[in-house]
Chains A and B, each alone.
Chain A
Amino acid sequence: MTSGPAIEAADLTRTFGAFVAVDHITFDVKPGEVFGFLGANGAGKTTAIRMLTGLLAPTGGTARVAGHDVYTESEAIKRDIGYMSQRFSLYEDLTVWENIRLYGGIYDLPPKEIRKRAEAMLARLGLEHARSQPVRLLPLGWRQKLALSVALVHRPRIVFLDEPTSGVDPVTRRQFWELIYETAAGGTTVLVTTHYMDEAEYCDRISIMVAGRIGAMGAPGALKKDFSVPSIDELFVRMARPTEARS
């Protein structure tokens, strides 16, 4: 089970009535890869991610996530993945320590193990002094780093990051990306969405969804070469507005 792709989707499709939100998408993500999942608002990213995280059944095609079938093994998927988003991740009124304990508990870690991992996490993040503080009092950048660490507390094979870095300064954003690299170097697969097009260039590979389909996929450098564009930003705009020349 530990060999093979972390995510493999073939013709994965989801319709809502007559509307095709995700239209036969096919892609693999390798273990330890940082995969950027891009697309304009409404292109189908969120629906695709909900299927890959076992929250929404597809209406067609197949997908396996961490080796589990999205139709029949969604509970097993939830155990083997982590999830973090800018909008919702930590409980702001709980302390740092309580948040870690809560997530450890949700994933059925024994109390002793939770304590051990929590201590290691606080030491690594340099947050020991803040353990008894409510999360809402932490600076945004620290909340984001803690949220990522908490999403990894059960050592998932894949972590889904949904716009994890919105709103922070450029230095803090890069510190967060170093945590992502460190996570991937440790063998965990990272699937990340972002509106910062320069972050797209930090990924090993990216896909750009357009109207439910994958419009382009590959390593950022190779894509720029193939499409003769100077940046992923330019490619993104060109894919989403194909009729318009570059500005």
Chain B
Amino acid sequence: MTPDRDAVARGSNDAAAIVADGLEKKFEATVALAGVSFAVRRSELFGFIGPDGAGKTTLFRILATLMVPDRGRARVLGLDVVSDLWKLRTRVGYMPGRFSLYPDLSVAENLQFFAAVFGTTVEREYAQIAPIYSQLEPFRDRRAGALSGGMKQKLALCCALVHRPEVLFLDEPTTGVDAVSRREFWELLGRLKAAGLTIVVSTPYMDEANRCDRVALIQRGRLLALDTPDAIARGFDRPLFAVHAGNRYQSLLALRRRPHTHQVYPFGESLHYTDSRSDATPDQIQRELADYLRGEGFDAVNVALTDPTVEDTFMARMGDA
């Protein structure tokens, strides 16, 4: 299965907000992107899920016209990211991963600055940013550098939105932010999407995949998979078992010693287990696992089939890559 090709084929129609074809980028000996192709539809909330160093930031910079690829090409809103850069730049918004507002300017001043750069004013664009800016207004005179992490993130989003872009690139907006602020941020993105904005977002948190319409799993400059979060989870190709057996670390080590173990790893409150045999039925595996653990002296053993998640698929594909 080559999801990249399919995506390009699907993206060749008018509905595509972004089409990337074979993007490559190297920094000296380091390969940041090793041929990345995909398409994003208009008004889609599209996520790139992957760890540090996967190539997410390089990809976002290329799409936001801030960097030129070594090879391959990309069109955003039908415009080439290299040759049409000036036409495109006013139509996309970009929120970099590192906080990049002016820490010594106030909340209001930062916003005025970004509006002015794009030849507009905060007043004229107020409707666009109101749902987010209203939460910041009590702090409008505070220095941006003195805001909390969650507030900084909201201000950066306002600044990326103030010129009313049609496509928004958000590079790891939720990294290092607590679970509550993260959830609020995703709720905001959902509202922006409902208003018609195309949003491309990256995150290292696998559980955030489910907030996106479609996601691409990215690792070492390559896409491991591209689909809806549900389809990616369903693409997991072995029966997956959730195992509980008291002491987690000791049961993990015990399962590692078992000859038929394909993979076993901690997952939430249980261990996730896959078997290396293709000819064993799930019932048989389940029974054998429970017997094995009891035989190893564990009590309160519970083994059950469980639904794979995007994270399970990511780990399985990483192993294949």
**A contact set with B: CB distance below 8 Å:** 39-42, 139-140, 163, 166-172, 174, 177-178, 181-182, 184-185, 195-198, 201-202, 220-221, 224, 231, 233, 236-237, 240-241, 247
Contacts and interface: CB of A to CB of B under 8 A. Distances in A.
Contact of B178 (A167, A170, A195, A202): A195
B52 A167 contact: yes
Contact of B51 (A39, A168, A174, A224): A168
B53 A140 contact: yes
Contacts of A181: 248-249, 252
24 contacts: A40-B178, A40-B180, A40-B181, A41-B177, A139-B53, A166-B175, A166-B176, A167-B51, A167-B52, A168-B52, A168-B204, A169-B50, A169-B314, A171-B318, A178-B249, A181-B248, A185-B249, A198-B207, A220-B269, A221-B269, A231-B268, A236-B179, A236-B180, A237-B179
B145 interface: no
Interface string B277-321: 000000000000000000000000000000000010011001100
Contacts of B268: 198, 201, 231
B86 interface: no
Interface size class of B (residues with CB under 8 A): 35 or more
A233 B52 CA distance: 23
B265 A240 contact: no
Contacts of B150: 41
Most buried by A among B51, B52, B176, B179: B179
B183 A140 contact: no
A140 B54 CA distance: 12
Contacts of B207: 197-198, 233
A195 B176 contact: yes
B266 interface: yes
Contacts of A167: 51-52, 175, 204
Contacts of B52: 140, 167-168
Given A41-B178, A172-B51, A178-B252, 10 more contacts: A40-B181, A140-B51, A169-B50, A169-B54, A170-B315, A181-B248, A220-B269, A237-B179, A237-B180, A247-B187
Contacts, number: 89
A166 B176 CA distance: 7
B194 to A, nearest CB: 15
B79 interface: no
B99 interface: no
Contacts of A178: 249, 252, 266
Interface of B: 50-54, 148-150, 175-183, 187, 204-207, 219, 248-250, 252, 265-269, 311, 314-315, 318-319
Contacts of A196: 205
A41 to B, nearest CB: 5
Closest 5 CB pairs of A and B: A169-B51, A181-B249, A167-B52, A240-B180, A40-B178
A233 B269 contact: no
B179 A163 contact: no
Nearest to A220: B269
Contacts of B315: 170-171
Contact of A41 (B50, B149, B266): B149
B183 A163 contact: no
Nearest to A202: B266
Contacts of B51: 140, 167-170, 172
Contacts of B175: 166-167
A41 B148 contact: yes
Nearest to B311: A170
Contact of A247 (B183, B265, B269): B183
Given A198-B267, A198-B268, A42 B249 contact: no
Most buried by B among A170, A202, A233, A236: A170
A195 B51 CA distance: 15
Nearest to B319: A171
B150 to A, nearest CB: 6
A237 B207 CA distance: 15
Nearest to B174: A195
A40 B183 CA distance: 12
Contacts of A198: 207, 267-268
B266 A174 contact: yes
Contacts of A42: 148
Contacts of B318: 169-171
Most buried by B among A41, A185, A220, A224: A41
Nearest to A185: B249
B129 to A, nearest CB: 23
Contacts of B250: 185
A169 B219 contact: yes
Most buried by B among A39, A174, A247: A174
Contacts of B252: 178, 181
A114 B117 CA distance: 56
A163 B206 contact: no
A231 B206 CA distance: 15
Contacts of A247: 183, 187
B301 to A, nearest CB: 15
A41 B180 CA distance: 9
Contact of A170 (B181, B183, B206, B249): B206
A41 B268 CA distance: 22
